C-alpha cells in the first residue's frame, strides 16, 4: 500500500495555530505507530516566510516540486485578511491555484483551515461544493464566492476530497478527523489524550462532546430532560419518571424530544453512555465499573454498545 504523506502550505502572514496545530497532531501520531512524512511548502520559491505573529518559518520547499495523489493530504492554513483582499497578491499566486487544481484532480485531499478556504475558493475548487470557514468571514466568503455552499455553525465539512474547518483550533480537530478516517477512533483518542484535548469534535456537530450536542434549541423542558439523563446515567429511570419531572406525559415527551433534538431519547442515552464509557476507560477504570457507572447491567452490554457505535471493544481504549 502506498505511503501517506501530509503537506502544509505556509503562505505569507500565516496564522500560526492554523498550521502548527495540525502539524503537531501528525507529529504526536508517530508515537502511536502512525508514520506520515510531513513537508512544508511555500507559495512561491522562497524557503522562508514570516507568520502573522512575526515568527520566521524556514526550511520550506516550493510547492511545484511535488506531485500529490490520493494518499496525500494538503493543509492550507489561514492567513491575514489584508492579503486576501489584495488583488495583486491573488493574481501573483495564480501558478499555485493552477497547481492546486491539478493536485485535486489527482485525488489529493485538500484541507483548508480558517481563511485558508479563500485560497481553495480562488482556485474554483469549492464551486458547487459544501465548505465552511471562520464565522467572522462567512458572509463575505459567500458574497465573494456565490457558487459555493457555505455552511455556518459547522466545525468540519467534507465534500469529496475537499475538507474545510471553521478556524484557528479547529485545524487540530480536522487533523484528528483525517487520522480517524485512516486509522480509527482508538488511535485518535490516544493522541487526543496525549495532547490534552478533552474530546475531539466531529464532522456533524460544532460542539465539543455529546454532552453539548443536540442542545441548539430553546425548549427549557427538553434541556431539563437532557441534563437529567446526563447526570443520572447510572440510574435506570423510566420514560414515565423522566416525563413526570417536566410535567409532561411520556407520549408527549417522546414526540417533543425527537422533534426538538432530531433523535430519540433512547438514541441520546446511548450516545451519552458511549462517550462516558470511553472517558472512563481511557482513564484506566475497570470494565465492570464503567458498565455500572453507565447504567448497564454487565460488561457484555458495554462491549455490545461500544462495538455498535465505535466498532471497538473496551480493551481497545485502555493504555
Could you report the per-residue pLDDT of 48-90, keeping only the tens digit for each?
A: 999 999 999 999 999 999 999 999 999 999 999 999 999 999 9
Q: Please say whether the beta carbons of 102 and 125 come within 8 A.
A: no
Q: How many beta carbons lie within 10 A of that of residue 20, not counting itself?
A: 19
Residue 78: predicted pLDDT: 96
Q: Which residues pair with 50 in a beta bridge?
A: 56
pLDDT at 199: 47
Question: What end-to-end distance do the CA atoms of the chain give, in Å?
Answer: 28
Task: Decide if 175 contacts 155 (C-beta within 8 A).
Answer: no
The answer to whether residue 225 scores a pLDDT higher than 80 is yes
Burial label for 65, CB within 10 Å (0-12, 13-18, 19+), is exposed
Distance CA 170, CA 283 (A): 25
Mean pLDDT score, 2-23: 94
What does the block give as the cell for 137?
468571514
**Buried/exposed code over 236-245 (b: 16+ C-beta within 10 A; e: otherwise):** ebeeeebbee
Report the share of the chain in percent with pLDDT over 90: 65
* Residue given cell 441520546 in the structure block: 268
Flag whether pLDDT at 212 surpasses 80.
Answer: no
Q: What is the mean pLDDT of residues 107-115?
A: 97
How many Cα atoms are found within 13 Å in the side-chain-facing hemisphere of 71?
A: 8
pLDDT, greater one: 185 or 65: 65
Q: Are 225 and 245 a contacting pair, CB within 8 Å?
A: yes
Radius of gyration of the chain (CA): 22
214 versus 197: which is more confidently predicted? 214
78, 116 Cβ separation under 8 angstroms: yes
- State pLDDT tens for residues 257-286: 999 899 999 999 999 999 889 878 887 889
pLDDT number for residue 36:
95
pTM metric for this prediction: 0.69
Residues composing the chain? 319
Give the confidence band of 236 by pLDDT, cuts at 50, 70, 90. confident
Rounded average pLDDT over 102-129: 97
- Phi first, then psi, for residue 9 (nearest 5°) are -75, 140
Amino acid at each position: 500500500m502506498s505511503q501517506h504523506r501530509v503537506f502544509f502550505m505556509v503562505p505569507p502572514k500565516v496564522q500560526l495555530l492554523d498550521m502548527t496545530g495540525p502539524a503537531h497532531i501528525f507529529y504526536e501520531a508517530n508515537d502511536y505507530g502512525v508514520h506520515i512524512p510531513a513537508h512544508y511548502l511555500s507559495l512561491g520559491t522562497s524557503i522562508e516566510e514570516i507568520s502573522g505573529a512575526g515568527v520566521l518559518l524556514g526550511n520550506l520547499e516550493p510547492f511545484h516540486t511535488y506531485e500529490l495523489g490520493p494518499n496525500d493530504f494538503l493543509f492550507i492554513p489561514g492567513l491575514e485578511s489584508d492579503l486576501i483582499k489584495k488583488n495583486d497578491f491573488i493574481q501573483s499566486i495564480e501558478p499555485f491555484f493552477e497547481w492546486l487544481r491539478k493536485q485535486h484532480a489527482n485525488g489529493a485531499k485538500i484541507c483548508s483551515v480558517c481563511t485558508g478556504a479563500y485560497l481553495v475558493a480562488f482556485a474554483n475548487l469549492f464551486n458547487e461544493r459544501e465548505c465552511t470557514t471562520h464565522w467572522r468571514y462567512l458572509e463575505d466568503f459567500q458574497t465573494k464566492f456565490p457558487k459555493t455552499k457555505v455552511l455556518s455553525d459547522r466545525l468540519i465539512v467534507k465534500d469529496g476530497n475537499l475538507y474545510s474547518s471553521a478556524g484557528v483550533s479547529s485545524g487540530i480537530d480536522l487533523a484528528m478527523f483525517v487520522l480517524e478516517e485512516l486509522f480509527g477512533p482508538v488511535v485518535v483518542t490516544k493522541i487526543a489524550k496525549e495532547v490534552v484535548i478533552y474530546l475531539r469534535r466531529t464532522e456533524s456537530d460544532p460542539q465539543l462532546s455529546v454532552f453539548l450536542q443536540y442542545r441548539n434549541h430553546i425548549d427549557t423542558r427538553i434541556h431539563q430532560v437532557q441534563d437529567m439523563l446526563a447526570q443520572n446515567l447510572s440510574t435506570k429511570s423510566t420514560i414515565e419518571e423522566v416525563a413526570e419531572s417536566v410535567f409532561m406525559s411520556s407520549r408527549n415527551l417522546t414526540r417533543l424530544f425527537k422533534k426538538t433534538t432530531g433523535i430519540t431519547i433512547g438514541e441520546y442515552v446511548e450516545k451519552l453512555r458511549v462517550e462516558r464509557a470511553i472517558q472512563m476507560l481511557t482513564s484506566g477504570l475497570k470494565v465492570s465499573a464503567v458498565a455500572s457507572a453507565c447504567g448497564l447491567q454487565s460488561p457484555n452490554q458495554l462491549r455490545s454498545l461500544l462495538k455498535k457505535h465505535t466498532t471497538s471493544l473496551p480493551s481497545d481504549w485502555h493504555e
